[in-house]
Amino acid sequence: MVEPAGLVALFLDAAVGWPDRLYRVVGHPVGGFARLITAAERRWNRPQRSESARRLAGVALVLLLIVAVFTAALAVEQALWAGLGRWGWIGVGLCAFPGLAQRSLYDHVRPVARHLAAGDLPAARQAVGMIVGRDTAALDEAGVARAAIESLAESFCDGVAAPLFWLLLLGLPGLWVYKAINTADSLIGHKEARWRAFGWAAARTDDLLNWLPARLSGLLLCLAAPGGWGCLWRDHGKHASPNAGWPEAAMAGALGLRLAGPIAYDGVLSPKPWIGRGRADARAADIDRALALYVRACLLLWALAGGYAWAL
């Protein structure tokens, strides 16, 4: 039982987030997952091992993460309810809010628009390079703006809607298992030869955990602004991910933009299809519009969390 814990987590994340000063002193809980995953990858994903052995090791890592994180988070949650009684939801919200990224995402995307508006393309490239995995050194203004908007749309699911969904459904264990698997996917869930076998289980599990939240994210973005519905249904399948296309297509349609398209990773151009039928020359003002849409969609999540608490 989480009752209004989701609202507490959303409020704390929006109000204070995870300040850089705190990050420099104590790091972030996700950093612990990253260290464990990196250590396991170095030890279990040695190139001399067969592909099947590396895939099995990747499955073992995912199971280890799920069992260890679920058990630890459940123990914390039970201790909070035992110690705080009927106010245990406040403690759950306090322990959950670091798993959300409402404010962090906004704070990372906004500087991209600010630098572009000031005409400082190199600074804009550097800022967007902090939130995307593609090559940014050769991006023009439109490429930088599209990259920021695409990351905002996808991360609305990964960083906000999905963690909240699993918090409301399974409490602290649900949220932190999701964050552990999502971290594993970002680190090892790649198609390159080194990670393809070992990261297979992490990537597929992340796809499963994001299946419903991704579709919810797309629907919320469409509700937050008119114009996204047609693009959502028509273009969501154009993305390589079974999930990321939903919020990205909704964002593209709502803003009247074309997103995605050919993208370079590690110097290799990937001929991805365009999502949306609008203009491709995105600008700083379009990032601002995307951020406004993102804020409205987050407020809809607040309403859902409040309705969930009231229904209980």
Dump pLDDT digits (tens) for 224-258.
998 899 999 999 999 989 999 999 999 999 999 99
Dump pLDDT digits (tens) for 265-304.
666 667 789 999 999 999 999 999 999 999 999 999 999 9
**pLDDT in the model for residue 103:** 95
Dump pLDDT digits (tens) for 25-78.
777 889 999 999 999 999 999 999 999 999 999 999 999 999 999 999 999 999
**pLDDT in the model for residue 227:** 86
Q: State how far the Cα of 256 lies from the Cα of 55, in Å rounded to an integer.
A: 42
Report yes or no: 182 and 154 within 8 Å, Cβ to Cβ.
no
Whole-number mean pLDDT of the chain?
93
**pLDDT in the model for residue 1:** 60
Q: State how far the Cα of 309 lies from the Cα of 61, in Å rounded to an integer.
A: 34
> How would you class 247 by CB atoms within 10 Å of its CB: exposed for 0-12, middle for 13-18, buried for 19 or more?
buried
**pLDDT in the model for residue 265:** 67
Q: State how far the Cα of 76 lies from the Cα of 169, in Å rounded to an integer.
A: 17
**pLDDT in the model for residue 271:** 77
Helix, strand, coil percentages for the chain (3-state, nearest 5): 75, 5, 20
Reply yes or no on whether the pLDDT at 307 is more than 80: yes
**pLDDT in the model for residue 117:** 97
> How would you class 164 by CB atoms within 10 Å of its CB: exposed for 0-12, middle for 13-18, buried for 19 or more?
buried
**pLDDT in the model for residue 221:** 97
Q: State how far the Cα of 230 lies from the Cα of 147, in Å rounded to an integer.
A: 22
Q: What is the mean pLDDT of residues 202-208?
A: 97
Dump pLDDT digits (tens) for 139-173.
899 999 999 999 999 999 999 999 999 999 999 99
pTM above 0.85, yes or no: yes
Q: State how far the Cα of 93 lies from the Cα of 205, in Å rounded to an integer.
A: 25
Q: State how far the Cα of 208 lies from the Cα of 103, in Å rounded to an integer.
A: 26
**pLDDT in the model for residue 166:** 97
Report yes or no: 161 and 303 within 8 Å, Cβ to Cβ.
no
How many Cα atoms occupy the beta-carbon half-sphere of 145 within 13 Å?
Answer: 26
Pick from 267, 271, 73: nearest CA to 177: 73
Q: Grade residue 15 by pLDDT with cuts at 50, 70 and 90.
A: very high
**pLDDT in the model for residue 266:** 62
Q: How far is CA 120 from the centre of its chain?
A: 27
Report yes or no: 281 and 252 within 8 Å, Cβ to Cβ.
no
**pLDDT in the model for residue 268:** 65
Dump pLDDT digits (tens) for 117-135.
999 999 999 999 999 877 8
**pLDDT in the model for residue 98:** 95
**pLDDT in the model for residue 238:** 93
Pick from 273, 218, 220, 271: nearest CA to 246: 218
**pLDDT in the model for residue 2:** 67
Per the DSSP assignment, residues forming a β-bridge with 264 are 269
| Residue 37 identity | I
Q: State how far the Cα of 138 lies from the Cα of 208, in Å rounded to an integer.
A: 34
Report yes or no: 273 and 286 within 8 Å, Cβ to Cβ.
no
Tally DSSP H helices, then E strands, for the chain. 13, 4
- Cα 294 to Cα 91, 137, 153, distances in angstroms: 27, 26, 8
